[in-house]
């Protein structure tokens, strides 16, 4: 991909570019906790987005997307991000860097990647971080990684219309090969945790479904959490979010909250606890415990938080019955997308065969299988010329 991006850039713009890369991410555990300032456990993956960039001496930015086979240009002194268009991510990052006082001049850019569409590996976050990293590198801005992640999040909010948390951009920027990030979404700080799976491997199973109620349900879950905090604040003075409620107080919380709110609060409180337990399990190499936590996370997301769906439940619960599988859970916002599975490497072919046959028989859909390895975060890569 690195060579392809370089060659494409040279054929379009006839100069040698600077190259930047930012990865997609998985979240090992800690789902729907970020917007309650909780803890999440993401890791960068080897798949990602590459950006080739070079100054052009103009007042215009000329872009080309390899994946969409599209060109796009905009003037630096007069542009308006177009919601739903890939170039919006470039314009969004440029706008935020300009607002922060960085003096950007005209540039040419080629973008391409190898993140599978609809995989839940957060290609949009990788794109924003790759763009920010490339612009910072090209102009010598030395923008801190945390700032690039925050600009990427704000760009999603303002220009793409997606009210995402910080996890995706943060993991893309700070990822470390062979390690997961135990990320505190209140302080935006993290601890690196070795994520060595030995004779086991991580593999995503893409359900290839996305139910339309996802956005509405997401907003309702956020509102339920916020309402729970308002009620609980009367009994827990000073709490800001459900993150501040200790696990041992679950019974007390159940007595204080209406029946329709308690399960949502229960998920948040127990899921945050599972993140810390998962971190301890990986540090000590207790993969069986880690797998059990994956199962518990899925059950909570499905039964308490109600963001799963029939297809995801089927994929997770079917995998639990297959030899060599330590754990499986839905990953991401829910109502479709992927399950994350920890499977004995020698059993992956059998695992895929059994899951594919069962899922096809049940839903008439052949799922996609996406192996993932924990890779490094965003970086500037060496320049490559065609002569190399």
241 occurs within a structural domain: yes
- Which domain CATH number covers 232? 3.30.70.890
Q: What pLDDT, in 10s, does the model give residues 47-87?
A: 999 999 999 999 999 999 999 999 999 999 999 888 889 99
Same domain assignment for residues 290 and 273: yes
Q: Indicate if 353 and 367 belong to the same structural domain.
A: yes
Q: Looking at the structure, tell me whether residues 230 and 104 fall in a common domain.
A: no
Show Cβ contacts of residue 203 under 8 Å, excluding neighbours closer than 6 positions.
341, 343, 348, 351, 352, 369, 370, 371, 372
User: Mapped to the 3 state alphabet, what secondary structure does 196-223 carry?
Assistant: CCCCEEEEEEEEEEECCCHHHHHHHHHH
* pLDDT of amino acid 387: 38
pLDDT of residue 384: 46
Asked if residues 42 and 180 have their Cβ atoms less than 8 Å apart, the reply is yes
The residues pairing with 200 across neighbouring beta strands, listed in sequence order, are 344
Q: Which residue's structure tokens are 């002194």?
A: 77
Structure-block tokens of residue 65: 């997307």
Residues 12 and 104 in one domain: yes
> Would you give the distance in Å from CA 92 to the centre of its chain?
19
Select which of 168, 244, 313, 388 is catalytic. Answer: 168
Residue 109: strand pairing partners: 53, 63
**What secondary structure letter does DSSP report for 302?**
I
Least confident of 30-39, 118-127, 199-208, 276-285: 118-127
Mean pLDDT of 143-151: 96
Q: What share of the chain is helix, strand, coil (3-state, %, to 5)?
A: 45, 25, 30
**What is the DSSP annotation of 43-83?**
EEEEEEEEEEEEE-SSSEEEEEETTTTEEEEEETTB----T
The answer as to whether 388 is a domain residue is no
Helix (H) or strand (E) run with residue 237 in it: none
Q: Which residues 6+ apart lie within 8 Å of 212 measured at CB?
A: none
Inside any domain, residue 116: yes
Same domain, 157 and 230: no
Q: Is 168 a catalytic residue?
A: yes
For residues 102 and 186, state if they share a domain: yes
Specify the pLDDT at position 242. Answer: 97
Domain membership of residue 387 (yes or no) is no
CA distances from residue 288 to 74, 216, 293 in whole angstroms, order as listed? 53, 36, 9
Q: Are residues 211 and 321 in the same domain?
A: yes
Is residue 321, in this structure, part of any structural domain at all?
yes
Query: Could you please report the per-residue DSSP string of 131-184?
Result: HHHHHHHHHT----HHHHHHHHHHHIIIII-----SHHHHHHHH-BTTEEEEEE
pLDDT at 164 over 70: yes
d(C-alpha 345, C-alpha 371), whole Å: 10
- Of 122-126, 314-318, 348-352, the range with the lowest mean pLDDT is 122-126
pLDDT computed for residue 326 by the predictor = 98
**3-class SS at 85?**
coil
Q: How many domains does the chain have?
A: 2
- For the stretch 327-372, pLDDT in tens is 999 998 889 999 999 999 999 999 999 999 999 999 999 999 999 9
| pLDDT score of 213 | 67
Q: CA angle, corner 381, sides to 141 and 11, nearest 5? A: 100
Task: Please check whether residues 276 and 180 belong to one and the same domain.
Answer: no
Left, alpha or beta for 25 (phi > 0: left; psi -120 to 50: alpha)? beta
Q: Are 30 and 79 contained in the same domain?
A: yes
pTM of the predicted protein model: 0.91
Report the CATH number at residue 99. 3.30.230.10
Nearest Cα to 174, choosing from 6, 366, 302, 22? 22
Range in 25-29, 217-221, 313-317 with the lowest mean pLDDT: 217-221
199 half-sphere exposure, CB direction, 13 A CA radius: 7
Checking if the pLDDT of 385 tops 70, the result is no
Give every strand in the sheet of 325-331, ordered side by side: 325-331, 336-344, 200-210, 368-372
One domain for residues 175 and 145: yes
Up-side HSE of residue 167: CA atoms within 13 Å toward CB?
Answer: 33
Mean pLDDT of 191-217: 90
Residue 95 lies in domain: 2-194+375-381
Does the residue 386 lie in any domain? no
- Asked whether residue 177 falls in the same domain as residue 278, the answer is no
Residues 28 and 165 in one domain: yes
- What is the Cα–Cα distance from 265 to 250, expressed in whole angstroms? 9
């Amino acid at each position: 991909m690195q060579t392809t991006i370089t060659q494409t850039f040279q054929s379009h713009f006839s100069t040698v570019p600077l190259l930047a890369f930012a990865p997609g991410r998985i979240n090992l555990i800690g789902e729907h906790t970020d917007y309650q300032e909780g803890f999440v456990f993401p890791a960068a993956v080897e798949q990602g987005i590459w950006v080739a960039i070079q100054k052009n001496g103009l007042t215009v930015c000329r872009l080309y997307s390899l994946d969409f086979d599209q060109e796009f240009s905009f003037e630096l002194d007069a542009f308006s991000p177009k919601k739903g268009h890939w170039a919006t991510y470039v314009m969004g990052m440029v706008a935020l860097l300009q607002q922060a006082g960085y003096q950007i001049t005209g540039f040419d850019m080629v973008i391409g990647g190898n993140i599978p569409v609809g995989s839940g590996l957060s290609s949009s976050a990788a794109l924003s971080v790759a763009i920010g990293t490339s612009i910072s590198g090209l102009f010598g801005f030395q923008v801190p990684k945390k700032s690039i992640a925050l600009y990427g999040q704000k760009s999603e909010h303002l220009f793409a219309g997606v009210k995402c948390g910080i996890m995706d951009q943060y993991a893309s920027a700070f990822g470390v090969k062979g390690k997961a990030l135990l990320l505190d979404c209140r302080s935006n700080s993290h601890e690196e945790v070795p994520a060595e799976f030995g004779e086991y491997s991580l593999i995503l199973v893409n359900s290839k479904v996305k139910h339309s109620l996802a956005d509405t349900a997401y907003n309702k879950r956020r509102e339920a959490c916020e309402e729970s905090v308002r009620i609980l604040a009367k009994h827990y003075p000073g709490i800001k979010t459900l993150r501040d409620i200790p696990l041992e107080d679950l019974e007390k919380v159940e007595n204080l909250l209406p029946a329709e709110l308690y399960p949502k609060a229960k998920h948040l409180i127990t899921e945050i606890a599972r993140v810390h337990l998962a971190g301890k399990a990986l540090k000590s190499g207790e993969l069986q415990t880690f797998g059990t936590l994956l199962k518990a996370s899925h059950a909570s997301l499905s039964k308490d938080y109600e963001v799963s769906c029939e297809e995801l439940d089927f994929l997770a619960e079917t995998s639990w019955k297959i030899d060599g599988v330590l754990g499986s859970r839905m990953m991401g916002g829910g109502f479709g997308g992927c399950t994350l599975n920890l499977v004995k490497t020698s059993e992956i072919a059998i695992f895929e065969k059994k899951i594919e046959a069962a899922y096809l028989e049940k839903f008439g859909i052949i799922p996609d299988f996406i192996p993932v390895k924990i890779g490094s975060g965003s970086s500037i890569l060496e320049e490559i010329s065609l002569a190399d």
